[in-house]
Amino acid sequence: MSDFTLDPRLKNDCHLLGSLGLSHLLLVNNALLPWFILVPNTTEIELTDLSPQDQATLLEEINRVSRFIKANFEISKLNIAAIGNIVSQLHIHLVGRDPADYCWPNVVWGTTEREPYTSERLNEITTALTTQLGDLFSNT
């Protein structure tokens, strides 16, 4: 969509890894957790306002990224949420959690502990996405 612009807060807090069929794939710049965000290429702000076809496409993208997280990070739980109280742009959080993570069992929102990703680790993740998601993933 030509009207699509990534919210500045997402742009500031995340690495834009690439795109899928419908969504842009972001990675929150905190290597303490595998925290990915899907941002559908739409001006709609509610999941329920997407067309049935776009909802189905988004669900498939959520499933594919979920499988990627489970296969590539040591997690025991995967949290998936569409919460937009501060950033109203439609976006889906996919956060891998484990009792050993720094803020378990509390929420990840609002925590101040951070460890930025290294360029080497970002390259590893992007390469793995390209290999495992194939044609679905396009590196930006």
48 belongs to a structural domain: yes
For residue 42, pLDDT beyond 90? yes
Q: Which domain covers residue 55, as residue numbers?
A: 8-139
For residue 2, pLDDT beyond 60? no
132 belongs to a structural domain: yes
pTM of the predicted protein model: 0.95
Number of domains, the chain: 1
80 belongs to a structural domain: yes
CATH number at residue 131: 3.30.428.10
Which residues have a Cβ under 8 Å from the Cβ of 16 and sit 6 or more positions away?
6, 24, 25, 26, 140
Closest by CA to 77, choosing from 114, 46, 104, 115, is: 104
- Say which amino acid occupies 131: T
> Could you read off the pLDDT of 112-138 as tens digits, one per residue?
999 999 999 999 999 999 999 998 999
17 belongs to a structural domain: yes
> Could you read off the pLDDT of 50-62 as tens digits, one per residue?
999 999 999 999 9
> Could you read off the pLDDT of 84-112 as tens digits, one per residue?
888 999 999 999 999 999 999 999 988 89
For residue 12, pLDDT beyond 60? yes
> Which pLDDT does position 79 carry in this prediction?
97
Closest by CA to 97, choosing from 33, 27, 23, 43, is: 33
106 belongs to a structural domain: yes
121 belongs to a structural domain: yes
Give 140's pLDDT tier (boundaries 50, 70, 90). Answer: low
- Max CA separation in the chain (angstroms): 42
99 belongs to a structural domain: yes
